[in-house]
Chains A and B, each alone.
Chain A
Amino acid sequence: MWRSATVVALHDETATARTLRFEVPDWPGHTAGQRVDVRLTASDGYSAVRSYSIASAPSTNKLVEISVERLPDGEVSPYLAQEIALGDRLELRGPVGGWFVWRPTQTEPVQLIAGGSGIVPLMSMIRSRVSASSAAPFRLLYSVREPRTVFYREELHALSAEQSIELTFAYTRATPRDWPRPPGRIDADLIASTTWPSALRPTCYICGPTSFVENAASLLTASGISPDRVRTERFGPTGDRR
């Protein structure tokens, strides 16, 4: 069932990504980590649909937020990340997906690992933790190319400062000045020093490009985390042979 949605707020996250807030009068509610299908229809009836992770926390206020990274060759993302304006209407279907989710009834430690725009569904989990006043301990390891590509920067820093989450950034191309770790992808040392030890049996959520998720999931399981504690969501190309 497609639901009518109206853009009620938008702002740039980075130079290439934008957050959109939709008002959806008959939105049934969602669980942190779920996705929504977005349908755009041209005046001649042609339509295109893409799936996006929901960024906002579950709530009863009929608002749904997504954050869209503009893909150079995209058909839908350039429109959402650049052209759409306040008051524009489109259609949503969902929420979709019941596996890559966090519920406030979970009390065990949670390890979040984000690569780039893979932060979006994890941000919904963090916001859900806050809005539910959950005491589940959360750690976030957030890998980005460089400081200016961080999504939700101020909100994350504020949540870290008030100790709602333990936050670690990892930079793959360029770091802030005087950053102790040289740029590079996540490795076993970083996993050992910044993520929950396996003895605490954390539930782990990893989201990002395929090669990022493959690497992070392998490091987690090599560190002793049981594979059945690791939930993944991958997007984009394989990054290797295809």
Chain B
Amino acid sequence: MAITTRGFSGRRRLTDGRLPPGQYVTTDFPVLSAGPTPRVPLDQWELTINEGDEVLRRWDWKSFRDLPAETVTVDLHCVTRWSKLGTVWEGVSLDTLLKDIKTDAEYVLAHSYGGYSTNLPLGDLMNNQAWVAFRFDDDDLAPEHGGPARLLVPHLYLWKSAKWLRGISLLHEDEPGFWEDYGYHNYGDPWREQRYSGDE
């Protein structure tokens, strides 16, 4: 039973069911990162998919941008409790990037320029649920928001959408990433409020 705080009434907002529990709507786009923003020149950028020592796919910027891209409109939910509704991105679907890869792996570790990483079940990247995004709101993706390209997995808390994406490792055993190692939830479903390790 929650304690009632004297004199607090709050400000109710209509959210028409789009807002997961414990979130509030912001029209801003806050930035949360653990360190300095990496600056990755496009002529040095690459994206790889590997399994163990084997590099299964490799794109430079041009070959990546030659892939078919999609425009998607999604809601973002950050574990620090802000949500941003109806954001518009352009990116390449992970279904496109993972096409024809044969693997028994069930997990992935996404890793970034600058050293960040985050883990997800491979299934969460498939079936039109995840993109590698390079444009936001009709503009090239700014470095502080993860440019040149970031992972976008909007059905999980935003820390799973790794900024400055550099590669995706296919794993047979799950392996915690950066925030997962520092006490955040391993899966991070906003609708089940899986913020911290220990949340069900």
Contact = CB atoms under 8 A, between A and B. Distances in A.
A48 interface: yes
Interface residues on B, range: 35 or more
Given A41-B5, A47-B10, A214-B144, A234 B36 contact: no
A227 B35 contact: yes
Interface in A163-211: 210
Contacts of A162: none
Contact of B8 (A79, A232, A236): A79
Contacts of B181: 98
A69 to B, nearest CB: 15
A231 B35 contact: yes
A39 interface: yes
B36 A232 contact: yes
B28 A99 contact: no
A48 B10 contact: yes
B55 to A, nearest CB: 25
Contact of A230 (B5, B36, B137): B36
B81 A49 contact: yes
A42 interface: yes
A79 B11 CA distance: 11
A64 B163 CA distance: 33
Contact of B3 (A75, A91, A238, A242): A91
Contacts of B33: 232, 234
Interface string A72-93: 0001000100011100111100
B37 interface: yes
Nearest to B22: A49
A210 B10 contact: no
A23 to B, nearest CB: 13
Interface of A: 2, 4, 39-43, 45-51, 75, 79, 83-85, 88-91, 96-100, 210, 214, 217-218, 220-221, 227-228, 230-232, 234-238, 240-242
Given A41-B3, A220-B36, A234-B30, 6 more contacts: A79-B8, A88-B6, A90-B8, A91-B2, A98-B183, A240-B142
6 contacts: A91-B3, A98-B181, A98-B182, A99-B179, A210-B144, A236-B28
